[in-house]
Structure 1
Amino acid sequence: MPQLATQQLDSIHSMLAAGHRNLRIERHSLVLWGISCGMLLLFRDDIFTAEQLPTLAQQAVAWLILLALTISGVALIDWHLTQHVKQARDETWSFIHRQIVKIVWLLMSVGALLTFATFFYGGGHLLLAAWVVLCGIGLYVHGLFSEQLLEWIGALIIAIGIGMLGLRLNYPEQKWLASSTLGLGLPLLALMLDHGRVRAAKVRLLQSAGWLLCVLITPLLAHNFRLSEPSPDAPVVSLEVFRQRPDARQAVSFPAGTTIPVKVEVSGNLFRPGDTVAFPLVLNEPLLIMMNDRKLTGDMRSPEGSWTRWQDSLQITIPLIQAEYDLRNGAEIRGSLVVTTKDNFSH
């Protein structure tokens, strides 16, 4: 086939592809949504603390108001900037583009309502992954009618969110990964946009791999930095010595067999409120806990292990709660509590 005919066919193919993918996501949209979501995820523990808002209802309402203001504010700024850019290019909002924008707003609203609901129904360990998946879905849907690269990155973001749960990452690891995926990944994606050009699959694969490497390197560096932090320097004392001198900074040794009560306060309208119920738990192995001026610092380790933060190593799950009736003992509620530590806690 003559070269001229080949070039004409390629041009026709490009025009058809451009007609199918006639939308364009603006770079400022990715930057605005990425930075706002990334900052909220990264600093979520410092925004509203238990000291500021002691009850779950107060925290839930505060977060709902904050998310509503943030989402609506970013959406309005994004809409205004996009409108300005379209006017400069003498473009108008297409019907499909308006519907895609509504889908993105809907997904963000679902994330806000999900955040609000976790304060009452639990599932907070799913929240970070859910936000990542929702943002990935928004990008993927936009990419179906826009740039091909958005589909690839959107699918990767969805996979990252699912992987956060599948790998059972602890909370700090999830927070850093989610913040990097959105706060760094979306602005980086804005720099990678190529105006809807059709690329070969291997090119998209290389672009996606490079994006994934940049997104993952930040949480990996943060994780290694946490592991390389110097161990707390304090003398190791027994529990009896600590009771005599509790004001100093010291590592308190809890021997195996130490009883630690778990106190549960019962409320609601089904059971009569009464005194706090205590469930005695017995340590299976020795444990060192760092104390400073009678307060827990959050550092712990086994006698042979290295110091680590409790939220990095401790995993608590309640896989079973069910009601039973026994002819001998009567009605009872049976549950299961699983408390485990990660490998680096004891090695």
Structure 2
Amino acid sequence: MGGVLTTAGLFDYRFTRRLRWRQDRTLSFVQRQLTKVWWILMGLGVLMSVATLFYGGGYMIFAAWIFLVGLALVIHGLFSEQPLEWYGASMMLASVLLLALRVDYQLTQWLAAALFGVGLPLLGLILRYQPQMRRLMALSALVGWGLLVCLMAEAGYQMTRGSFDPQAEPIRLADFAVDQVRGEQIVSLPVGSPVPLYLIWEGNLLQSSELEPIPLRLSQPLEILMRDGVPEGHYRIGGGEWREISYNFRVPRLTIQALIDKETGPRIDTSLRVEIGE
């Protein structure tokens, strides 16, 4: 996304300068400063995109891009087209709601694609006729613009979701272990099912020698989609909606404390909280 926006910005900058040169006009001081603001915010977005590859937080990246573009529109509207303030503010509010409501990652991806691919060009067309619009018509244009973007995002999201039958009858784990067939199956795991965790520790100072499982148990019923005997990536908890594990697996808290006990010697106490989207 950062590469696409950067390329679009370069072409826009070049064509704008060429058009100004043909019209024998120069860029105003305000327009030059706004261009710098756009470049700074887009550069910040690229930096965040690269940083998530090393430090995590990738599930927030599309909401962050929507927020940055909305902020750029608000700043642009302060010195130029005032209606841009409302459109930019609505984008900033939408990005905050995406994170607060924990909207599915794939849906935020489609929302960003619809917003940048269709919403922004459509916004340019709306601004062309904005001076002739009355207040009620301008408000209707804003609402219609937002609804169109959301509908396109939802349509793309629904078309790219898994093609399996979510109403298929799930089978028990015991039946799955006895008769593994090729194709798709939904395996049901009841509350209390054991899920041993095998942890491999590697590093320049510490490493694990033997794999000793950490006993874990399910606190809610879980259904997993299996394809040819391997988890396909879709799951649902407690009969809720089907979700993909990508970016729905989060670790909001990780605490590591090194101690030296007088009796047992050095040890590491770790506290981990894992959240899987429901």
TM over 0.5: yes
Of residues 29, 37, 59 in structure 2, which corresponds to 1:95?
Answer: 29
Q: Is it true that 1:231 corresponds to 2:165 in the alignment?
A: yes
Task: Name the counterpart of 1:256.
Answer: 191
1:295 matched residue in structure 2:
230
Which letter maps to 1:279?
I
Instruction: Write the mapping of 1:263-302 to structure 2, written as runs, cut at 5 A.
Output: 263-272=198-207, 274-275=209-210, 278-301=213-236
Unpaired segments of 5 or more residues in structure 1? 1-39, 41-66, 343-347
Structure 1 SS opposite 2:268:
strand
Q: Does 1:333 align with 2:269?
A: yes
Aligned to 2:109: 175
In the alignment, what sits opposite 1:112? 46
Cα gap change, 1:198/1:267 in structure 2, threshold over 3 Å: closer, same or farther?
Answer: farther
Give distance in 1, aligned partners of 2:133 and 2:181.
66
Partner of 2:38: helix, strand, or coil? Answer: helix
Task: Quickly say closer, same or farther: Cα 1:140–1:240, change in 2 above 3 A.
Answer: same
Deviation sequence 1:115-140 (CA, Å, 0-9, x none): 11112112222211111111111112
- Alpha-carbon distance, 1:114 to partner: 0.8
User: Residue 214 of structure 2: SS of its match in structure 1?
Assistant: strand
Q: 1:230 to 1:107 in 2, by over 3 A?
A: same
Q: 1:218 aligns with which of 133, 152, 167?
A: 152
Once residues 17 and 273 of structure 2 are traced to their aligned partners in structure 1, the CA distance between those partners, rounded to angstroms, is: 54
Query: Which has more helix, going by share of residues?
Result: 1
TM (norm. structure 2) is: 0.81
Superposed CA RMSD in Å reads 3.4
Tell me if the contact between 1:314 and 1:341 (Cα under 8 Å) persists in the aligned partners. yes
Structure 1 position 323 matched with structure 2 position 260: no
Report the TM-score when normalising by structure 1. Answer: 0.67
Residue 175 of structure 1: CA displacement?
A: 1.6
In the alignment, the residues of structure 1 paired with residue 114 and residue 189 of structure 2 have an alpha-carbon distance, to the nearest angstrom, of: 38
Whole-angstrom CA distance in 1 between matches of 2:181 and 2:25 = 69
Identical columns (%): 32
Which amino acid in structure 1 is aligned with residue 273 of structure 2? L
TM superposition shift of 1:97? 1.6
Give the distance between the partners of 1:84 and 1:94, measured in 2 at CA.
Answer: 15
Q: Secondary structure at the match of 2:196?
A: strand
Judge which range, 322-331 or 122-131, deviates more: 322-331
1:145 equivalent to 2:79? Answer: yes
- Cα contact 1:266–1:276 (8 A) shared by 2: no
* 1:136/1:154 contact within 8 Å kept: yes
Equivalent residue number for residue 136 of structure 1: 70
C-alpha distance in structure 2 between counterparts of 1:189 and 1:167, whole Å: 26
